[in-house]
Amino acid sequence: MAEIVYPPVVLAAKTMFRVLDNRLRVTGTEHVPRSGGAVIACNHVSYLDFIFCGLGAQPAKRLVRFMAKKEIFDNRIAGPLMRGMHHISVDRAAGKASYDEAVDRLRSGEVVGVFPEATISRSFTVKPIKSGAVRMAADAGVPVVPMALWGTQRLWTKGRPRTLTKRHVPIHIHAGEPFRPTPDDDPDLLTGQLRTRMQEILDELQAGYPDRPADEDDRWWLPAHLGGTAPTPEEAAELDARGRARD
């Protein structure tokens, strides 16, 4: 398929990050296959994660097709960009069609990106994840690459104002060792293992992160178990439940 939109968007993003000196650090890129289909399963702490997760595959010269909710495609500004980059629209009322499209893309040799937590983690830990990443990889016969990123929540996350022009924010991305599910595997067991690996990678990124909160009010971007004031996983789950009830 023609790539008219995606390369300029990637170039614009890289230029912006250089201007803002976001100190982007990408590691583990040897684990992203240079050819053939693959599922990238990434944690989710920011509205911008699809940009950075995609950049995590750039050293392998791969363009990631993200699964994203239909409402984004319906937006008059974001929609044309999402379609131009050939991302995959997910209609919750017709989820099988989106799943089948993703499997077809994988079988044709593309990289599909998913955020298996489904929504942003307010606790900045890995929430319980859905089994779709493992199941589609098994159906397509491709590997799953666990990935985690850290620092993006400081730019724009749920419940906080956007600070897209904030300078000198380190953004760290790491791709872990892939594994290849098969149709004979227990998808729930493998999904649990995937979540564990994603959290381990996130723990490593958090431990090696060069910045610390500037003051007491700045502790919001750290998880509670690291001394931050982000909600605990239990508190975050309650906040999510209240949000769903309002919707």
- 3-58 pLDDT per residue, tens: 999 999 999 999 998 999 999 999 999 999 999 999 999 999 999 999 999 999 99
Examine the pLDDT at 123 and tell me if it is beyond 90: yes
Q: What are phi and psi of 150, to 5 degrees?
A: -150, 140
For the cut 80, the answer to whether the pLDDT of residue 211 exceeds it is: yes
State the pLDDT at residue 245.
84
| Topology of domain 6-216, CATH | Glycerol-3-phosphate (1)-acyltransferase (3.40.1130)
Q: Which two tokens stand for residue 224?
A: 């509670």
Residue 72 contacts residue 98 (beta carbons within 8 Å): no
> To the nearest whole number, what is the mean pLDDT of the chain?
96
For residue 133, give both structure tokens.
Answer: 């990443």
Tokens encoding 150: 């850290």
- The residue whose two tokens read 């989106």 is 98
Q: Report the alpha-carbon distance of residue 217 to residue 239 in Å, rounded.
A: 21
Count of CB atoms situated within 10 Å of the CB of 48: 18
- What is the rounded distance in angstroms from the CA atom of residue 168 to the CA atom of residue 17? 9
Give domain limits for the chain: 6-216
Write the DSSP symbol of residue 41.
Answer: E
